[in-house]
Amino acid sequence: MSGVDTGGAGAGSDVRSAWLDRINPVTKVVIVLVLAAPLLVSIDAVSAATALLLELLCVPLTGLAYATVLRRLVPVLVFAPVAAMSMLLYARPGGTVYGTFLFATVSDDSIALSVAVFVRVIALALPMILLFAHTDPTELADALAQVARLPSRFVLGVLAGARTVGLFVDDWRTMSLAHRARGLGDRGAVRRFFSMAFVLLVFAVRRGTTLATAMEARGFGADIERTWARPSTLSGWDAVTLGGAVALVAVALGAAVLTGAFRVVGT
């Protein structure tokens, strides 16, 4: 009986031994750029659809379940039709025109463009979800400072500051309750929002000051060369993965060119 339980728990939990877990966070940033750049300058449906298909095939390498990926894509799936709809109505008309209303025109060209934009938005968002779903902020900061050589004061300052965001969420919740307790919860939502935002600002300044003191008290910003308890390095895995990303982009663009669908923004 216990054997069954253990098996179930192991299969259900996030296992951190996927291909992607060996990749340095800086490489992930570069990969996102590699995947995004061609999709931002081209604007046909084939290149985006091919990229999207190949990205979906890569999901097992990230250690994420397809269901998880789908759940994280929900906001994108909500946004993408909005972008597609504006293209459908307001893109430059071309080919057969199916209808016109004020400035809106639906034509062959605008339909094609709207499909292309829809697929493209998803193809752009998916790599970010796949690559950063498992990336720990501290790991990212280590990599940005050690591998990308960003200034450590800046990186650690942002990292430490980001930790306090959760506290502000709690503050906000408590202040909402306080407004109800003080008889102001029934109306005036807009005014309430601004008065709470102001108080939050006061808290932010105060927290920032204490945080700076706490960091300084622990030697942060001294003139000593800082060491890193968690060394962040690149390996062969990073090169191979980056190569894979470049290949993915090449295949996507190649498919568009071969089918004659390839189109650059502005043409």
Partner 1 sequence: MTGPARVDVEGWGWRYAGRKLPATRGIDLVVEPGERVLLLGASGAGKSTLLAGIAGLLGGSDEGERTGRILVDGVAPEAQRGRIGLVLQDPEAGIVLSKVGDDVAFGCENLGIPAEQIPARVSEALASVGLATPLERSTKALSGGQKQRLALAGVLAMRPGLLLLDEPTANLDPDGVSEVRAAVEAVVAREGTTLVLIEHRTAVWADLMTRVVVLAPGGGVLADGPPDEVFARHGDALAAAGVWVPGRPVDLPVLAPVRDTDAVLSTRALSVAREKRTVVASGLDLVVPAGAGTVVTGPNGVGKSTLALTLAGLLPEAAGEVVTEASLAARGVRRPSRWRSTELLTRIGTVFQQPEHQFLAPTLRDELAVGPRALRMPATQVDAIVDELLERLDLASLALANPFTLSGGQKRRLSVATVLAASPEVIVLDEPTFGQDRRGWAELVLLLQREIERGRSVVAVTHDADVVRHLGQHRIALEPAA
Which residues bind to partner 1, rule: CB under 8 A? 137-138, 159-160, 163, 166-167, 171, 173-175, 177-186, 195, 199, 202-203, 210-211, 213-222, 224-231
Residue placing its CB nearer to partner 1 in the complex, 132 or 220: 220
> Based on C-alpha coordinates, what's the Rg of the chain?
24
Q: How far is the CB of 181 from partner 1 (least distance, A)?
A: 4
Contacts of 71 (CB under 8 A, 6+ apart): none
| Farthest-apart Cα atoms in the chain, separation | 70
Q: Which two tokens stand for residue 200?
A: 């939050």
Contact 229, 32 (CB under 8 A): no
Per the rule left: phi > 0, alpha: psi between -120 and 50, beta: everything else, 219 is: left
Mutual angle of helices 189-217 and 165-181, in 10-degree steps: 140
Say how many C-beta atoms besides its own lie within 10 A of residue 98's C-beta.
12
If the CB atoms of residues 114 and 232 are measured against partner 1, the closer one turns out to be 232
Least separation in angstroms between residue 100's CB and partner 1 is 49
The smaller minimum CB distance to partner 1, of residues 203 and 237, is found at: 203
CB of 194 to partner 1, least distance (A): 11
Q: How far is the CB of 145 from partner 1 (least distance, A)?
A: 10
The nearest distance, CB 88 to partner 1, in angstroms, is 39
Question: DSSP assignment of 147-210, as one string?
Answer: TS---HHHHHHHHHHHHTHHHHHHHHHHHHHHHHHTT--SS-HHHHHHHHHHHHHHHHHHHHHH
Residue placing its CB nearer to partner 1 in the complex, 4 or 9: 9
Compute the least distance from the CB of residue 156 to partner 1, in Å.
Answer: 8
Question: Which CB atom, from 108 or from 153, has the smaller least distance to partner 1?
Answer: 153
- By residue count, the chain amounts to 267
* C-beta closer to partner 1: residue 5 or 225: 225
CB atoms within 10 A of CB 228: 10
Q: CA–CA separation, 9 vs 94, rounded Å?
A: 56
How far is 215 from 219, CA to CA, in rounded Å?
A: 7
Q: CB-wise, 207 or 263, nearer to partner 1?
A: 207
C-beta of 47: minimal distance to partner 1 in Å? 39
